[in-house]
Amino acid sequence: MDFLKTLGIKEKNFGACSGLSWNDTTNQGELRVVSPADGKQIASVYQASEADYDQIIKRGREAFKVWRKVPAPKRGEIVRQIGERLREYKDPLGKLVSYEMGKSLQEGLGEVQEMIDICDFSVGQSRQLYGFTMHSERASHRMYDQYHPLGIVGVVTAFNFPVAVWAWNAMLATVCGNVNLWKPSSKVPLSAIAVQNILHDVLQENNIPEGVFSLIIGRGSTIGEKMLNDKNVPLVSITGSTRVGKHAAGIISQRFGKSILELGGNNAIIITENADLKLAIPAVVFGAVGTAGQRCTSTRRLIVHDSLYDKVKESLVKAYSSLRIGTSLDEKNHVGPLIDTDAVQMFTAAIDEVQKQGGKVIYGGEVLKGPGYESNCYVRPALVEAENHYPLVQEETFAPILYLIKYSGDVQNAIDIQNDVVQGLSSSIFTNNLREAESFLSHWGSDCGIANVNIGTSGAEIGGAFGGEKETGGGRESGSDSWKAYMRRQTNTINFSTEMPLAQGIKFDL
């Protein structure tokens, strides 16, 4: 395929790069990368060794000594150039993301646009790494905050967003003065290699030292564990399951490192009796089936007022029956494949289990076979009538299963149902009632990190901080003041008097 050649993807690729040069390790195993769209092998990647990791860390430490002294706006200029280069490669990179991961081409292109957007955001942020000035209780003293870079920032990304989540972290970390080490999911390494190739010319043209943007592709049991335990990596940003996050956070905290955790989401949309269904139904459908239900912000629970329940159910069955399911590179299709056959097995197991627990499948739930579905990764998105207390509904199933849950009474009943899970990422309410909307947004309302009114749970803009509470991890990425997570905070006090007064009026006379 032409886009592979354009992006520098070869039949066999190396798995470790420190910015400008690739290591040539070939004895750590070879990842065969197969597209879930058609079941064909795209290419392969030689996994990196622990020696590769050590070399990259050494280069990163040396690069940080140089990079932290570059003025932040000049660091922003490098990020601006990266954004421009991504604009040039948006089409081929979007196609690779779509083909390698399985999301629709529109979503693949949208993911690259997220990268471009966060570059633009970070360029502006490079001139706004501000701190507050405070009044001192002591005469002729000045106090203020300032923020300093941390060093090497590790970014561990998941398969569902092969490139955008890296950009959310790396572009902000870069303008803050850090250097970056990216460990992508072993299910989608080619997109990461393509990004590294795109960066190459920008780094070379600007004489950026080796180690500012590094990539390592290797086993979690070796390379991943090494990163988690490495005191040379003061911050690790991890996107993945709650199980992975708990394991990683435990290790990182033992060495007093910092972590940004973006973990599971069991996201709900509330449809009250005052909702506009013309707005709600499309948002629910996209939220539930976009990326084949493999977004951390995918809509998994739909909490509907009993007065509208039958109408909403009928509308959803009609909408689901019109979904076009097929190869991700065909823009006419709404739903692509799941990432692999393991994900398909998880989907079918969840369908079986929820029925044992009392759920009723009212649409979909089957694995698709026949022409166009040769990869065995395609399923028909499912609608399931359920209750929130079912054990399976309490879990995050990373697949296109939407649970329909009925509520009665006022909106607080719906909010209580929504909050009654261990995850706390994204939430939405559809209502034209101001009191319902404001109750949902109040501090006795949604307990999620993201709470929306009259839009769905999926598709966050980069301008706002992204992340969630409870077992979602508590981290924040992307916009607002998320940049502060990539820096260490320092309070400074300057005495420009001729006296030495102590705080709190303490006297210490010699």
Catalytic residue among 114, 210, 262, 396: 262
| CA–CA dist 482, 118 (Å, integer) | 12
Strand partners, 402: 383
Reply yes or no on whether 17 is catalytic: no
Sign of CA dihedral 465, 467, 469, 474: negative
Which one-letter DSSP state was computed for residue 484?
G
Catalytic residue among 17, 119, 296, 377: 296
Strand partners, 236: 154, 259
Tell me the pairing of strands 469-470 and 423-424.
antiparallel
**Residue 17, Ramachandran bin (φ over 0: left; ψ between -120 and 50: alpha; else beta):** beta
Asked if 240 and 274 touch (Cβ cutoff 8 Å), the reply is: no
Token look-up 């572009």 returns 171
Apex CA 483: angle with CA 183 and CA 294, to 5°? 45
| CA–CA dist 427, 198 (Å, integer) | 35
Reply yes or no on whether 296 is catalytic: yes
| CA–CA dist 452, 206 (Å, integer) | 42
Buried b (16+ CB within 10 A) or exposed e, 52-89: bbebbbebbeebbeebbeeebeebbbbbbbbbebbeeb
Q: Tell me the CA distances in angstroms from 300 to 63, 289, 292, 373, 389, one per residue in order.
A: 43, 10, 12, 25, 14
Among all residues, which ones are annotated catalytic?
A: 262, 296
